[in-house]
């Protein structure tokens, strides 16, 4: 890799963002950290939350919630068979007693991170919102709600501006709910935002995804379906990409009461599952409204120099680069490049002319870090930085 990643090795604790290291903030004493709860703590996303929050400078996991079947057990016992991370369960979480996902069991928490499945997330998250928690959700249920921000932290933290209105509508003093995007949407919107910021509105985006199995959770995809195979379908995935992009890349209305989507930007997605553990690859084509379109060199420059608000705020999980542009002909690749920026950077490669649109490229993003729990955590860090918590 010839891009400016010279110090990547140096800060490669590799499996989690290293807020202690990459942030200049002094290490917060444990007693002063913000206690957070994890909803859906035994699931794949819940596990990532727990892993990524180990040693976090702002937050400490103080409660874990799961279904009634797990409730009452120590987390290490409830998650024993399903823990599929390559680091061990952090000792302080291992001994927490799993609770059912009811607000009264999380009274010691200021924030809850939700890794709940969508079939239960709606009611539970709503209950926590009403109980005045700050809810950061990975579930799809409220993403398109007109007063719920759908925030990819490297893209549209300006959408936090709707929180005041949301609180007012729901009669809350300190609670609110923020959702983050579908994993395959997340990787896509970061370079799209870079291009939109540099060159104005996009008119058309074609994306074909090759998505990792970890995106389906555990047990998730049966091995007989994916070993040596490609499955050209992921239920609901194409629709999510097509509608979420428009909200994320859009703005906030002038009165800060909602979102101004981008109906003029057309997105067409085709989603495939491939036998990769972590890391969604996407083949992308983009057309600009602006004519003539920027050159390939200008596009590369815009991608490389893009800096999100989360980075400017210096929150702990924000990577040095929101986007890295790889120059090798055959990169990025999931096996090699998935941990760039501790899993919070989008790797882009093969930026080249397209016969039909203005540019095409490949991108790779970590579907369970930036694409799930990592985004939620970075969103929460931004909320802290913005004084919302």
String marking each residue 93-132 x if it binds a second copy according to CB under 8 A = ----------------------------------------
Q: How many residues bind a second copy (CB under 8 A)?
A: 95
Task: Return the number of the residue (162 or 267) whose C-beta is nearest a second copy.
Answer: 267
As measured in angstroms, the least distance from the Cβ of 127 to a second copy is: 31
25 binds a second copy (CB under 8 A): no
By CB under 8 A, is residue 144 in contact with a second copy?
no
Distance CA 353, CA 351 (A): 7
Binding window for a second copy (CB under 8 A); candidates: 11-19, 33-41, 65-73, 154-162: 11-19
Q: Between residues 16 and 167, which has the closer beta carbon with respect to a second copy?
A: 16
Q: Which is nearer to a second copy, 54 or 132 (CB)?
A: 54
Question: Which C-beta is closer to a second copy: that of 6 or that of 171?
Answer: 6
Contact call for residues 175 and 167 (beta carbons, < 8 A): yes
Rg of the chain's alpha carbons, rounded to an integer? 20
Beta carbon nearer to a second copy, 254 or 329: 329
Binders of a second copy among residues 154 to 213 (CB under 8 A) are: 204, 206, 208, 210, 213
Residues 6+ apart with CB under 8 A from 177: 125, 129, 134, 135, 136, 137, 142, 148, 166
Q: Which stretch binds a second copy (CB under 8 A): 63-71, 79-87, 126-134, 309-317?
A: 79-87
Q: Which region among 67-75, 183-191, 253-261, 265-273 touches a second copy (by CB under 8 A)?
A: 265-273
Count CB atoms within 10 A of the CB of residue 189: 24
Site membership for a second copy, residue 84 (CB under 8 A): yes
Q: Which of 159, 280, 321, 366 is catalytic?
A: 280
Nearer to a second copy, 14 or 108 (CB): 14
Q: Any idea which residue has 């300006």 for tokens?
A: 158
Among 197, 242, 253, 307, binds a second copy (CB under 8 A): 242
* Touching a second copy, residues 276-295 (CB under 8 A): 276-277, 281, 283, 285
Q: Give 355's contacts (C-beta < 8 A, 6+ positions apart).
A: none
* Residue 66 CB neighbours (<10 A): 24
Other Cβ atoms less than 10 A from the Cβ of 263: the count is 8
CB-nearer residue toward a second copy: 323 or 389: 323
Q: Which residue has the tokens 């409660």?
A: 63
* Binding flag, residue 301, a second copy (CB under 8 A): no
Sheet holding 346-352, edge to edge: 266-273, 202-211, 280-288, 359-365, 346-352, 323-325
Q: Which residues have C-beta within 8 Å of that of residue 215, sequence separation ≥ 6?
A: 183, 184, 234, 273, 280, 367, 368, 371
Is position 275 an interface residue for a second copy (rule: CB under 8 A)?
yes
Site for a second copy in 202-221 (CB under 8 A): 204, 206, 208, 210, 213-214, 218-221
Is 159 among the catalytic positions?
no
Catalytic pick among 3, 101, 183, 245 = 183
Among 15-23, 153-161, 163-171, 173-181, which window interacts with a second copy (CB under 8 A)?
15-23
| C-beta neighbour count of 356 within 10 angstroms | 9
Give the shortest CB-374-to-a second copy separation in angstroms.
15
Count of CB atoms within 10 A of residue 347's CB? Answer: 30
Phi, psi (degrees; rounded to nearest 5) at 98? -65, 135
The answer to whether 304 and 370 have CB atoms below 8 angstroms apart is: no
Catalytic, 109? Answer no
Q: Judged by CB under 8 A, does residue 233 bind a second copy?
A: yes
* 249 close to 192: Cβ distance less than 8 angstroms: yes
Q: How many CB atoms lie within 10 A of CB 49?
A: 29
Nearer to a second copy, 5 or 34 (CB): 5
Give the other-Cβ count within 10 Å of 228's Cβ. 5
Judged by CB under 8 A, the chain residues 313 through 372 that form the site for a second copy are: 320-321, 324-342, 349-350, 354-357, 360, 362
Active site residues: 183, 280
């Amino acid at each position: 890799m010839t891009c400016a990643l010279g110090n990547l090795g140096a800060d490669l604790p590799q499996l989690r963002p290293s807020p202690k290291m990459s942030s200049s903030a002094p290490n917060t004493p444990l007693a002063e950290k913000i206690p957070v709860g994890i909803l859906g703590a035994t699931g794949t996303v819940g596990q990532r939350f727990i892993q990524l929050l180990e040693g976090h400078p702002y937050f400490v996991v103080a409660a874990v919630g799961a279904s009634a079947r797990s409730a009452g057990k120590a987390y290490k016992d409830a998650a024993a068979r399903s823990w599929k991370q390559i680091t061990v369960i952090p000792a302080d979480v291992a001994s927490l007693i799993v609770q059912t996902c009811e607000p009264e069991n999380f009274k010691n928490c200021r924030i809850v991170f939700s890794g709940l499945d969508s079939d239960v997330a709606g009611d539970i998250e709503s209950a926590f919102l009403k109980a005045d928690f700050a809810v950061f959700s990975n579930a799809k249920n409220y993403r398109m709600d007109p007063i719920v921000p759908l925030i990819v932290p490297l893209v549209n933290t300006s959408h936090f501006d709707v929180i005041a209105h949301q609180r007012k509508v729901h009669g809350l003093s300190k609670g609110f709910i923020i959702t983050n995007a579908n994993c395959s949407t997340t990787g896509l919107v970061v370079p799209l935002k870079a291009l939109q910021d540099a060159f104005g509105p996009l008119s058309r985006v074609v994306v074909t995804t090759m998505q990792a199995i970890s995106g389906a959770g555990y047990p998730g995809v049966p091995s007989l379906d994916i070993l040596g195979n490609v499955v050209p379908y992921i239920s609901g995935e194409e629709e999510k990409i097509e509608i979420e992009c428009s909200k994320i890349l859009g703005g906030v209305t002038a009165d800060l009461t909602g979102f101004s989507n981008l109906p003029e930007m057309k997105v067409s997605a085709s989603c495939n599952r491939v036998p990769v553990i972590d890391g969604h690859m996407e083949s992308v084509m983009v057309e600009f409204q602006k004519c003539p379109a920027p050159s390939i060199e200008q596009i590369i420059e815009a991608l490389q120099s893009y800096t999100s608000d989360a980075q400017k705020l210096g929150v702990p999980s924000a990577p040095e680069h929101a986007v890295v542009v790889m120059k090798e002909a055959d990169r990025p690749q999931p096996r090699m490049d998935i941990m760039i920026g501790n899993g919070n950077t989008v790797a882009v490669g093969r930026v080249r002319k397209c016969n039909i649109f203005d540019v095409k490229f490949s991108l790779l993003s970590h579907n369970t870090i930036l694409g799930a729990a990592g985004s939620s955590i970075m969103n929460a860090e931004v909320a802290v930085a913005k004084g919302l918590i």
